[in-house]
Chains A and B, each alone.
Chain A
Amino acid sequence: DVVVTQSPVSLPVSLGQPASISCRSSQSLVHSDGNTYLSWFQQRPGQSPRRLIYKISNRDSGVPDRFSGSGSGTDFTLKISRVEAEDVGVYYCMQGAHWPLTFGGGTKVEIK
């Protein structure tokens, strides 16, 4: 199985400051169809997960533009340009290029 590793595990951030989460996979996430299947999810406390970004950098409907994704191959990043209080929660990356789909272990974002 493809191992997906996120860092850091915990990320204290001041309001209005940027945040960055890293996601690395044990294999390239470039699919035979040419797409790179790396998605990002947010799970606020007490809520179901919500997908923020798919195929590296495509924001889902309703996702604020302060969230952005980048990367290629095996190395990816989620950036929050200016952290707001509602961004508190756990963020997961997920690879969809190989079966079984696998999630990273999560990064907890909290306000400093």
Chain B
Amino acid sequence: EVQLVESGGGLVQPGGSLRLSCAASGFTFSSSWMHWVRQVPGKGLVWVSVINTDGSKTNYADSVKGRFTISRDNAKNTLYLQMNSLRGEDAAVYYCASGGPGSGPGSWGQGTLVTVSS
């Protein structure tokens, strides 16, 4: 069974940094593209970033480009999202998900809440 468990969310001040992690199990992590998707509670889904199987290709939403960095450690079956220069509009539940670049996120974690406030 595919399991994706996010961690690292919490309260951070505007301008601060946070690193999210996503521990994967139940599938071949090193063969899977991985995504981050966020959702303000009560609002819609917003795709954030994707990384290919070996980490050599990444893509970002314009709203986070230059501030967020996606990475992975295939030896640890873990996906990361380094978030810098955080803004109020970055506050959301962040989901990690596995899935190809075209068909998108096929399996999702339970999400981790990021709050940006002074």
Contacts and interface: CB of A to CB of B under 8 A. Distances in A.
Q: Do A and B bind each other?
A: yes
Interface of A: 1, 31, 33, 35, 37, 39, 41, 43, 48-51, 54-55, 60, 90, 92, 94, 96-97, 99-106
In the A-B complex, the 5 residue pairs with the smallest Cβ-Cβ separation, listed nearest first, are A54-B103, A37-B102, A96-B102, A101-B47, A48-B108
B33 to A, nearest CB: 11
A60 B60 CA distance: 26
B101 interface: yes
Contacts of A51: 99, 103-107
Contacts of A99: 59
Contact of B106 (A48, A54, A102): A54
Contact of A92 (B44, B61, B107, B108): B44
Given A39-B104, A103-B47, 17 more contacts: A37-B102, A39-B103, A41-B45, A41-B105, A49-B37, A55-B103, A92-B44, A92-B45, A94-B45, A96-B103, A97-B102, A100-B61, A101-B35, A101-B47, A101-B50, A101-B104, A102-B47
Contacts of A90: 44
A96 B108 contact: no
Given A37-B103, A60-B106, A99-B59, A48 B44 contact: no
Given A48-B109, A49-B45, A94-B47, A1 B62 contact: yes
